[in-house]
Amino acid sequence: MGLTLWENLQKCLFRAVSGFFLLLFRLFLRQVPAKATKLPPIRNPLLTVPAVQLAEKIRRREVTSVEVVQAYIDRIQEVNPLINAVVKDRFSAALSEAAHADQLIDEETGGEDALADRLPLLGVPLSVKESFFLQGMPCSTGLVSRAQFLASGDAPTVALLKRAGAIPLGVTNTPELCMWMESSNNLYGITNNPYDLQRMCGGSSGGEGSILASGGAVIGIGSDIGGSIRMPSFFNGIFGHKGTTGIVSNDGQHPPNSGRQDEYLSTGPMCRYAEDLLPMLKILAGPNAEKLSLSTEVDLKKLRFFTVVDDGGSPLTSPVDKQLVEAQRKVAQRLEADLGVKVKEISFPQLKYAYQIWDTYLALPDDEGKPPQPFVELMADGGPAVWPVWELIKWLFGKSEHTIAAIGLAIVWSIQSATPSQFILQQKEALQHSIEEVLGSNGVLLFPSHPLLALKHHHALLTLYNVGYTGIFNILGLPVTQCPLGLSKEGLPLGIQVVAGKLQDRLTLAMALYLQKAFGGWRDPGAA
């Protein structure tokens, strides 16, 4: 199939799908009550201390873990009625664990350094995305049929954070089956953006992004197969890291991976403060941490910098918001002024096929030829087969257990061709070669985190192809850190993706620290 013909077919499909969603969207909007309440500002100074400093203060007995955990519980109880981010708490257990942490510190005989080495996050509160197994807590990913499910153990990554001394406060909302850009489902409802409660918080780690930005958590854990850490981190003005593929375990999550999806999924840290990213990644990576050389100092002046302003003009994606273009330009100017480097503007023509590459590779079979589990089977969760068109009819009458986003995805994916486009496979290979050649071991690339600022609730139904801006880096397996860059004229977060070569995560984490200092990092949405 020729290139021009293929592009024209994509345009026609996009128009048809957009028109279909627009009709449903207009019907759906009537069900959404408007909210205009503003979040209260943060008043307790304990809520504005990075996790690494909190751990140090707790070890030095400058503050108790019980005081810190109680401060965060109070904040969650204050903001969660407005944002609906934490869907199930474990406050009583968290306070008991905090008291135990304080007791461990009182009884420690090896000194503060030994305690820091053994339990680097001792007494620090943590939020957990509801798709991770956390013992005794739900793991439904918004499926009504999984409402009664409780995890009997911890996901490996959750266990590592708990072994480091972190104390989970509860689990946070996701889209249905974690496959959408907005965290809304028929089990827990919709999660709001703390900077504007009428806007989306992103997905699939949207509850994490919302509660972290609101000051209800200081560190959290998310997962990312198409931008599910980076999009909510961007929309909520916090830091989020999608690491090099294959370093951090993806086990202990729902839905389970199938096909080649484990190659593209990345579990990683989300936080308000850049200095918490590296310690968290080191803990999450476990024995694989040494592959990332995280202890190696990074001299930003010795790096090579590149900027890509958009995806090259895909007919499927939205143009990049002018405020985001300007913010990225300011980052380049600041780097040149501060570090004496040259930020080179480049482009990759294959990027305009980012969405198609992501969509194609997620559907590829594994080495044994077994394809991914169909989305309609995941929706059924072992029950009777889901017929997406029938679910759509039921939804129109308020009878479906599934969201319109999940139903729409099921319809689109059920009519997809099972044979991957050779043209798209070739574009991915060409892009992989070009971008890895440019980055090498000391290159850093700036790229928009998303073409648009946080949208009003449910408007993502009309912009599903914008996931290409983040999803392409899952397929390429590259480390990416989303960094906040202040607020727009509407008071919404600005941000940027910082990309590096494989196993060069320390470069993007060092850039996060630099950008936090240069642009101010996270802003309290109650004070913004």
Annotated active-site positions, please? 129, 204, 228
Tell me which amino acid residue 421 is: S
Tell me which amino acid residue 474 is: N
Q: Measured between alpha carbons, how far is residue 350 from residues 143, 252, 508 in Å? A: 36, 34, 23
85 contact partners, CB below 8 Å, separation of at least 6: 79, 172, 173, 191, 201, 206, 207, 208, 210, 211, 214, 216
User: Are 276 and 51 contacting, i.e. CB atoms less than 8 angstroms apart?
Assistant: yes
Rounded Cα distance, 427 and 181, in Å: 25
CB neighbour class for 232 (10 Å; exposed up to 12, middle 13-18, buried from 19): buried
User: Are 274 and 496 contacting, i.e. CB atoms less than 8 angstroms apart?
Assistant: no
User: Are 409 and 470 contacting, i.e. CB atoms less than 8 angstroms apart?
Assistant: no
Rounded Cα distance, 131 and 257, in Å: 12
DSSP annotation string for 344-397: EE---GGGGGHHHHHHHHHT---TTSPPPPPHHHHHHTTSSPP-HHHHHHHHHT
Rounded Cα distance, 480 and 505, in Å: 7
- Closest by alpha carbon to 275, among 522, 499, 23, 14? 522
SS3 annotation, 135-157:
CCCECCCCCHHHCCCECCCCCHH
User: Are 441 and 298 contacting, i.e. CB atoms less than 8 angstroms apart?
Assistant: no
Tokens read off for 474: 């899952």
Tokens read off for 357: 């590459």
Its sign, for the CA torsion 465, 13, 461, 377, is: negative
Rounded Cα distance, 486 and 203, in Å: 21
Kindly report the CA angle at 434 between 433 and 437, in degrees rounded to 5? Answer: 85
Rounded Cα distance, 376 and 390, in Å: 12
Residues in the chain: 528
